[in-house]
Amino acid sequence: MSTTLPGGTAHELPSDLKKALLADKQSAALWNSLTPLARNEWICWTIDVKQAKTREDHVKRVVKQLKEGKRRPCCWIGCTHRTDKAVSPSVKWVLSKRSK
């Protein structure tokens, strides 16, 4: 099995997520079947947390949810780090509420 897994459009695949995906052949294959934008959403959802424990939980959930047929994280506002498109008004509103 290859140890190379692609990243997303704005994010490289972090080592902890890569390790978890490579530890499960099915999840690695599912990861490779995702579009770059979908992979980017999973990566951003995983790394855009404040606590290490939450990140660990997200890494485990990526593997689990891919195997359950999920193609993107549920209830995620989307990656705000992308430079290929402007942040939508609805996402700006959500972000403004978070900063308060």
Residue 7 region by backbone torsions, left for phi larger than 0, else alpha for psi between -120 and 50, else beta? beta
Q: Is the pLDDT of residue 45 over 80?
A: yes
* pTM for this prediction: 0.82
Average pLDDT over residues 17-28: 97
Residue type at position 39: R
Give percent above pLDDT 70 in the chain: 93
Average pLDDT, the chain: 88
- Condensed to tens digits (0 to 9), the pLDDT of residues 69-78 reads 999 998 777 7
Are 62 and 28 within 8 A, CB to CB?
no
* Boundaries of every domain in the chain: 15-98
Tokens 């997200």, located at residue: 58
d(CA 80, CA 58): 18
Closest C-alpha among 79, 81, 58 to residue 70 = 58
Residue 1 has pLDDT above 60, yes or no: no
Predicted local distance difference test score (pLDDT) of residue 99: 61
